[in-house]
Structure 1
Amino acid sequence: MNFIIPIAGLFIVIGLALLGSNGRKQVKYKPIIVMIALQFLLAFLLLHTKFGFIFVSAISKSFEKLLAFAAEGINFVFGNLANEGQMSFFLGVLLPIVFISVLIGILRHFKILPIIMKAIGFVLSKINGMGKLESYNAVASAIVGQNEVFITVKKQLGSLPEHRLYTLCASAMSTVSMSIVGAYMTMIEPKYVVTALFLNLFGGFIIASIVNPYTVNEEEDLLEIQTNEKQSFFEMLVEYIMDGFKVAVVVGAMLLGFVALIAAVNSLFGMIFGWTFQEMLGFVFAPFAILMGIPFAEAMTAGSIMATKLVTNEFVAMIELGKVVSELSPRTVGILSVFLVSFANFSSIGIIAGAVKGLNEKQSNVVARFGLKLLFGATLVSLLSGVVVSFVL
């Protein structure tokens, strides 16, 4: 009986993706079926073995160390301001982008990143039927995050057509940065964080293949991933330091505006309807919670937490889940935990647009135009991951 509703949920998620598709006749179903099968296999392995947890934990600790190095520079420049904990989000989350940007520049300068790009792109593109750049970008998003990932493709960003830019942005919104995996693991069970990381990687390919189907010819794909750096090492360092700082400042401004706007909308709905926008969305999400396999009795609570993630961010939603975790069944907690591990929320539209704007003004306007469709696709990725994990819980 536990499988009947999730099976229906799987078909409904795919159906919604088809409903929002740019070209239903262009959808390639064979790689989609293969990737869904891989999701089920990964969910089983990661929730019943220690291999995935050990692997992702090792990567997470590596990035935590990088953030510690970044903190040295932040503490030197901002002194007591950082030590007293003021402006913690900007100092602790956004400014480390500068250091990560430098590392990306070094990897690019010494041709290490292009080699990794080609290798990963080759393997994943054989599975997902997409371009090598798209395949690389999805993995890079899961490692360096939705802000920093655009720095890795900044040389190609200006020449990307809209349909390929959508896929890159969709990957950035569907995954999470390895640098904050450790923070997630303090709020929800690590095994669900690990599972979500892998499921969302393939889920992003699945939904993007349906919502935004296209074919990349080999010549275009090779051209997109070529790099011809002719700068000196120190010229490169200066460029990437400034790029990283530019992205951090622009993203901070966009995030400030979007979060404030959502707060205003919540207040307005509260005065008019007696419910916040977030609470009203909870009623909307309750049926989707049920389709993910969450029991009817817990669907309203789960729907509210899902809505909280949508209108704020995953951290706020994880805090809300922590408040009611004792009232929910282990199955519901597991499904919700996997659903929450992604950047699929309204503020991410502003973050991604801001990150692109810091590197290419023209392309940021393109991103802004399909912002809501990005959120639609990324939310379907989270729903798909929740449905898949419900089969093994």
Structure 2
Amino acid sequence: MKYIIAIIGLLVVFGLAFVASNNRRNIKIKPIILMVIIQVVLASLLLNTKFGLVLIKGFADVFSKILEYAGSGVSFVFGGIANKGEMPFFLNVLLPIVFISVLIGIFQYLKILPLIMKAIGLLLSKVNGMGKLESYNAVASAMVGQSEVFITVKKQLGKLPANRLYTLCASAMSTVSMSIVGAYMTMIEPKYVVTALVINLFGGFIISSIINPYTVDASEDLLIIQEEEKQSFFEMLGEYIIDGFKVAIIVGAMLIGFVALMAAINNIFDLIFGISFQEILGYIFAPVAFIMGIPFSEAVQAGGIMATKLVTNEFVAMMDLTKIQAHFSTRTLGIISVFLVSFANFSSIGIISGAVKGLNEKQGNTVARFGLKLLYGATLVSVLTAVIVSIVL
């Protein structure tokens, strides 16, 4: 039965993408089928094999150790603020982003990260039927972040047509940056975080290939990466430390605002209608949860979590999930978890268009115009990832 629902789910996702396509005649079926097969194989490998479990455990252990090191710095500065036995979200989940940002900076400075991004991007371009720039950008988004990635390709940004710019932005919204991964792993199981990271990479290309199909001319398929201004090692450290702290503060501020707003809206709806706003959203998103492989008995609650992620952000949704995860089966928990691992939410439209506008005002305005379509596609990527994982769980 789960395979039938998964097939229906795939057809619905592809159908919704097809409806929004701007060039249906140019859709290439072969690369899409190949990437879906790769997604299923990778999901099965990561979640159902000993090799996958060892790989994920190694990845999780590395981040666990990184968070431990980060905790030393946090404890030195903020030790004694928290009451014994408490685990403040800002101190234990967000501030470690600062140390992870430092590590990313070091790997960037040593030219290790750019080499990895170029190599994986080149390999992806052989599979997805798109350009080298698009493939590099998808990998870079997952490494350095949805805003910072555009700095690395700013030499080409002003020359890109709207269709190629859409694909670059879609990748940035469908993936998550490595600096945030550690925070996710404190709220949901690491195996689902790692699986979603890998699967989303291909999912972004699949949905973009349907919504926004095009052919890149060989003469235009050039990858020109903007080299960072030469800094001393300690200048670089200072910059990445400040950047990491900014991310932590921004995420913290957004959480305060969104959690408070959601609580207020829920209370108002409960007083007027006798049902919370999140419960209403749960009923709206329940059919989507069902085609993702979640049983009817759990679909409404799951739909509420999914909707919360869309209208607020993934952190708020993950926090809500931790409160009610005991009500879900292991399979449902896995499906919801992979759905949550992406930047597909309304606030990301502003973040991405703002990042591009800061580098090229005209292109930033172009991104703002197709912002809702960008979110639509990125949400379909999350649903597709969840459907793929439902096949192997």
- TM-score, normalisation: structure 1: 0.80
Tell me the SS of whatever aligns to 1:391. helix
In 2: Cα distance, 1:121 partner to 1:163 partner: 19
State how far apart, in whole Å, the 1-side matches of 2:197 and 2:42 are.
10
1:209 corresponds to: 209
Q: Which amino acid aligns with 2:7?
A: I
1:47 is displaced (CA, Å) by: 0.8
Counterpart of 2:122 in structure 1 is: 122
Residues 49-72 of structure 1: CA deviation (Å, up to 9, x unaligned) = 243454456556667877899999
Corresponding position of 1:221? 221
Query: Partner of 1:21: helix, strand, or coil?
Result: coil
What corresponds to 2:352 in structure 1?
352
SS in 2 for 1:218: coil
Amino acid at match of 1:384: L
| Counterpart residue identity of residue 162, structure 1 | A
Closer, same or farther: CA 164–81 of 1 in aligned 2, 3 Å? farther
Aligned to 1:316: 316
**1:345 Cα deviation after fit:** 1.4
Indicate the larger mover: 314-323 or 380-389.
314-323
**Given the superposition, is the C-alpha separation of residues 162 and 74 from structure 1 closer, same or farther in structure 2, using an over 3 Å criterion?**
farther
Say whether 1:381 aligns with 2:381. yes
Letter in 1 for 2:339: F
- Note closer, same or farther for the CA distance 1:149–1:273 as it changes in structure 2 (3 Å cut): farther
Query: What is the 5 A alignment of 1:28-107?
Result: 28-55=28-55, 58=58
> Amino acid of the residue matched to residue 51 of structure 1?
F
> For 1:131-154, what per-residue CA distance to the aligned partner results, in whole angstroms no more than 9, with x for missing partners?
111111211222222233233323
User: In the alignment, is residue 18 of structure 1 matched against residue 11 of structure 2?
Assistant: no
Alignment of 1:182-201 (within 5 A): 182-201=182-201
Q: Find the residue that maps to 1:298 and give its secondary structure.
A: helix
Question: Would you say 1:296 and 2:296 are equivalent positions?
Answer: yes
Q: Can you give the 5+ residue segments of structure 2 that lack an aligned partner in the other structure?
A: 83-87
Cα distance change on mapping 1:95 and 1:5 into 2, 3 Å: closer
For 1:155-170, list aligned pairs within 5 A: 155-170=155-170
**Alignment map for 1:256-295 (pairs within 5 Å):** 277-295=277-295
CA RMSD of aligned residues (A): 4.0
Query: Deviations 1:226-263 (Å, cap 9, x if unpaired)?
Result: 76979999999999999999999999999998888878
Q: Distance in 2 between matches of 1:207 and 1:49?
A: 28
Mapped partners of 2:307, 2:284: distance in 1? 8
Q: How many percent identity over aligned positions?
A: 71
Deviation at 1:97, TM superposition (A): 8.5
Kindly report which structure 2 residues correspond to 1:134-173, keeping only aligned pairs within 5 A, or say none: 134-173=134-173
Whole-angstrom CA distance in 2 between matches of 1:350 and 1:114: 27
Report the 3-state secondary structure (helix = DSSP H, G, I; strand = E; otherwise coil) of the residue aligned with 1:220: coil
Deviation beyond 3 Å, 4+ runs, structure 1: 50-82, 88-118, 223-279, 357-362
Task: Tell me, yes or no, if the aligned pair for 1:184 and 1:193 is still in contact at 8 Å.
Answer: yes
Aligned residues: 393
TM-score (norm 2): 0.80
Aligned residue number for residue 85 of structure 1 = none
Structure 1 pair 114–215 and aligned structure 2 pair: CA distance change class (3 A): farther
Q: Is the 8 A contact 2:309 2:316 kept in 1?
A: yes
Cα shift at 1:270: 6.6
Bigger shift: residues 26-35 or 59-68: 59-68
- CA distance, structure 1, for counterparts of residue 371 and residue 252 of structure 2: 18
Counterpart position of 1:391: 391
Further displaced range: 205-214 or 267-276: 267-276
Report the equivalent of 1:331: 331
Identify the range of structure 1 (44-53 vs 210-219) with the bigger mean alpha-carbon deviation.
Answer: 44-53
Per-residue deviation, 1:127: 0.5
Q: CA deviation at 1:322?
A: 2.1
Please tell me whether the aligned partners of residues 247 and 358 of structure 1 are also in contact (alpha carbons under 8 angstroms): no
> How far apart are residue 31 of structure 1 and its match?
0.5
Residue 329 and residue 77 in structure 1: after superposition, are their counterparts in 2 closer, same or farther (change >3 A)? closer
Is this contact kept in 2: 1:114–1:225, CA < 8 A? no
The one-letter amino acid paired with 1:147 is: S
- Gap change, CA 1:131 and 1:23, over 3 Å in 2: same
Judging changes above 3 Å, is the alpha-carbon distance between structure 1 residues 189 and 108 closer, same or farther for their aligned structure 2 residues? closer
